[in-house]
Structure 1
């Protein structure tokens, strides 16, 4: 086989009740012009997804879980089954262009110091949704719409990673369930001395929110909780403490405000639940922080100065 004929990538597609949209994802993977392996992680779907997967001509390998572990848990469950040097993360509501995988592999081939490459995600009407993840001044991971200055991290909706480097940093934070697992992983890759590059030629259409509803209570719970846990694990201590204190202060002063935005993330019960879950996860987060810091090749403070607020 020539280098272009060898299967170097396994694309992981995590799904939960994805019957209405995963077929388009699998069709797009079957049309790729680069050989690859497809591994679908079915999070105990009960809507007929399993039958669709069994009948699809792409003939994906399926790892069916006994319960829903979320996107992060699904990726983590699949990691032991990966034998290729590259692994892809692909949302089940994303449909990559035929040359998507080839562009991602080429981006990693061209930069041996890069551990991950991020795609260009577009909405169905063609608008750019993400070219990667940027780090805001308050520690949020946000979609970047311009990769001119590089990207801090990859967007987990469609990306390619080096398998060995992902394993070397401890894999994926499965307990995040969903959201921020990509930004946390990007933090840890960069702390370990690796780069993350945009791949402008790797294009995919993305429905976004086909499974989870952006703006819903569950969406904000996972986002707020996982952002704080990520900062406790990866960010400079002063930043992590500041953002946790800010979140708590806003929570406890909300009942005193005359005007409160009508959004789920301003509901006191939801925010109290986030604080309770962060408190419960604090010991594990601090142990992870110690492990991450012990093997870091770059300081947290240096990464923060370089990327926060760009």
Structure 2
């Protein structure tokens, strides 16, 4: 393994792992994920599968309970959001257990689990391992990110996210070379994250005030602040089926508010105002395209919460 970070291995034996899947009306995609987990759970010496259901009404919990993967189903009785569901699962697990968080629309590729575990165990300063993410057609999804910044947001607003990414200015990392080799990143999309026991101990619980979106940005920032690394491992691959938030005005508005809330926590009022203005420009320039873009603009003009 081409580990440029060194060869210091953990001395605590085989890593205990729990796969945590958060569901909310996920019946359409959940069986496919559990099917993909079934043949690979033997790659880890001790692997549990937990499905945390956020009060679905489409039979998601029942699908998980009936599946041959033998998942433990945690029914939260409410839709408390992604972070709250992860915390509910983590509260049931010993602190020495690593957690692989998966969206229900993820599909594991054979040996992906083994490669993520090997990467996580290769050095004591690794906090989170993220796999290579593929679109359904097999192309690489641009899942790696830079820390949100004023330059990045204004580049996305004026040039568009894809153009800004290809110029190396936006939040999204788009250069193909970045996806070929193991590397440190600021953060990666939260659809598939392996969290080491060290990260659990140092970063603590996920922030439940982020109902959806920006919770993974916040968590991975706290992992980095604790002295641990976020590591991309290209030998581990997963397929991601969905992810079209800009088709939903409600989700687009929620993402916008949480982007502003997250940025405000780490920057002064002037920088935050300029950041918010950049998102406003993004929405205004594209308001003719869809209701979702108009929802972005309205979210910028209204309160975003604390």
TM-score range relative to shorter protein: 0.7 to 0.9
> What does 1:82-97 align with in structure 2 at a 5 Å threshold?
82-83=93-94, 84-97=96-109
Report which stretch shifted further, 148-157 or 187-196: 148-157
Counterpart for residue 206 of structure 1? 240
| 1:159 counterpart = 2:193 | yes
Unmatched segments (≥5 aa) in structure 1: 282-310
Matched residue, 1:61: 72
The corresponding residue for 1:284 is: none
Aligned 1:170-189 pairs, distance under 5 A: 170-189=204-223
Deviations along 1:247-271, one digit per CA (max 9) or x if unpaired, are 258759x99x9x854344543x654
**Equivalent residue number for residue 293 of structure 1:** none
Q: Deviations over 1:122-152 (max 9, x none)?
A: 0111011145323354366536562456321
TM-score by length of 1: 0.76
Report how many residues are paired. 270
Match of 2:29 in 1: 21
2:172 to 142, 158, 167: 142
- The counterpart of 1:34, out of the listed 40, 44, 57, is 44
| Alpha-carbon shift at residue 160 of structure 1 (Å) | 0.4
Task: Indicate yes or no: 2:289 matched with 1:262.
Answer: yes
Selected match of 1:45 from 53, 56, 59 = 56
1:45-75 superposed Cα distances (whole Å, 9 cap, x missing partner): 1112222112101110111111112222211
Of stretches 47-56 and 269-278 in structure 1, the one that deviates more from structure 2 is 269-278
Matched, 1:230 2:262: yes
Distance 2:264 2:272 in 1: 10
2:87–2:206 CA contact under 8 A, matched in 1: yes
Q: Deviations over 1:158-209 (max 9, x none)?
A: 1101134234323212121111211111111112221111111111111023
Could you tell me which runs of 5 or more consecutive residues in structure 2 were left unpaired when the two chains were aligned. 1-10, 154-170
Which position in structure 2 is the counterpart of 1:285?
none
Q: CA RMSD in A?
A: 3.0
Cα distance in 1 between the residues matched to 2:44 and 2:287: 51
